[in-house]
Amino acid sequence: MSARKTIRSARPCKSVIVKKFQHPQGSDAPVAWKCSVETAGEGPIRHGLRARSAMQSNERSAQGEEGVRVFNALVLFLTAVVLSLPLFIVVYPHVPVIQLPFGDHARIDHLVTFIIILGCFHVLLRKLRIMLFTVLLVGGVLLTWTSFTGRYGPNELVGDYRGFLFALRDNTVFVPLSASRLKPFEDADMIRSRVDHDDARVRTFAVRAATMNFMLASVNEGEVTMIQAFSVFKVINTTWRYVNDVKGGEYFARASESVELMAGDCDDHAILMAACIKAIGGEVRLVRTLGHLYPEMLIGDAKAMERAAYLVRNVLFSQQVGTAPLHYHTDAQGQRWINLDYTRNYPGGEVMDEKTLGILPV
């Protein structure tokens, strides 16, 4: 049992608490007293401090949760971007042109396509968030381990991803062309007669040009003619000088003429290129647009085009191409024809945006 007495001290802010402890009846132990000092209002103050501490703790917890949400959203977005790029490269060439209805009628089809693909991947990844973070965690652990062991690091991962994107782009960037509905154009017979590939001067030049470049390139036996044709392309395009026809007229020079001059307009260049490639066993054709004529060389099916794109980009014309896309046409049989125009210093340069009038096999 205990009794409590309060004795006010001289200072009004404190009070002395005296507690008397009584022992059970019959016990001869002396009475015990215990004194303590209690600050006035100490109970409410302690309660307020506890409340403030709890509030601060809740705020820190809320901030931590918000940080986690921001981190998760960032990871989801970046993953969606990484997954969207390859699909965008595959899909975009098949998307119709979309232009703004005002101003300069800027094209927005590429932006709209990428946003749609990115949105779809983002929604899908939100549904599979647990699986995504599990894969990323396992992949991060494996990448860290292989990086420490020197087998495979972040630089190799980024390089492989870039190579994958370039390979996709090389295989899918093409110019739509309804070759099955295009007939030989006007003056076709006359232009075909100018492609005198069997002339001795043309043959001599073509053979010499075919062996001036890329002789050390490691290629398959079936790719030799293609490599030699690319060497001819390089020789002609590095020496060709553009000269207009007579005003108001049109002159188509024979290849045997142009091989001596290495100059002329687009018609003369196309005729010479076609004649030289045909002289060393390549298969070529001429494409006529509203104001232009340019040559194309047959590469083959999709697999052959993939191989040609790799060689052009990484072996033969790596400095000239950079990150530019490679262009080609696909005919009705699914065969790929690469552009060999003089407008670029590498095969597969951008095709002029003009209506195609016809195709002339030579």
User: Are residues 350 and 265 located together in one domain of the fold?
Assistant: yes
147 neighbors 158 (Cβ within 8 angstroms): no
User: Are residues 186 and 152 located together in one domain of the fold?
Assistant: no
Q: How many domains are contained in the chain?
A: 3
3-state secondary structure of 348: coil
In tens, the pLDDT along 307-360 reads 999 899 889 998 998 878 888 888 878 889 999 998 889 999 887 766 778 888
In tens, the pLDDT along 87-103 reads 876 676 667 767 788 87
Check pLDDT > 50 for residue 170. Answer: no
Contacts of residue 225, Cβ cutoff 8 Å, sequence gap at least 6: 280, 281, 282
- Report the predicted TM-score, pTM, of the whole model to 2 decimal places: 0.55
User: Are residues 257 and 350 located together in one domain of the fold?
Assistant: yes
How many alpha carbons fall within 13 Å on the CB side of residue 107? 7
Find the mean pLDDT for residues 41-66: 66
More confident residue, 150 or 341: 341
Which residue shows structure tokens 């110019």? 175
Last residue of a domain, one of 172, 203, 228: 172
Q: Show the domain range for 13.
A: 2-40
In tens, the pLDDT along 63-90 reads 777 877 888 888 888 888 888 887 876 6
78 neighbors 161 (Cβ within 8 angstroms): no
Query: Measuring CA to CA, how many Å separate 311 from each of 207, 247, 305, 326, 350?
Result: 21, 41, 10, 12, 18
Domain at 208, CATH number? 3.10.620
State the first-to-last Cα distance of the chain, in angstroms, to the nearest integer: 120
Mean pLDDT of the chain: 79
pLDDT at 201: 97
| 196 falls within a domain | yes
Find the mean pLDDT for residues 277-287: 95
pLDDT at 172: 37
In tens, the pLDDT along 211-241 reads 999 999 888 889 999 999 999 999 999 999 9
Question: Which tokens go with 338?
Answer: 């690469």
3-state secondary structure of 217: coil
In this structure, are strands 284-289 and 263-264 parallel, antiparallel, or unpaired? unpaired
More confident residue, 133 or 235: 235
In tens, the pLDDT along 6-49 reads 444 444 454 545 455 555 555 555 555 555 545 545 555 565 66
User: Are residues 293 and 197 located together in one domain of the fold?
Assistant: yes
| 60 falls within a domain | no
CA angle 206, 291, 238 (to 5 degrees): 30
* Helices 109-127, 42-91: crossing angle, 10 deg rounding: 130
Q: Is 44 exposed, middle or buried (0-12, 13-18, 19+ CB in 10 A)?
A: exposed
CA angle 124, 125, 131 (to 5 degrees): 120
User: Are residues 271 and 287 located together in one domain of the fold?
Assistant: yes
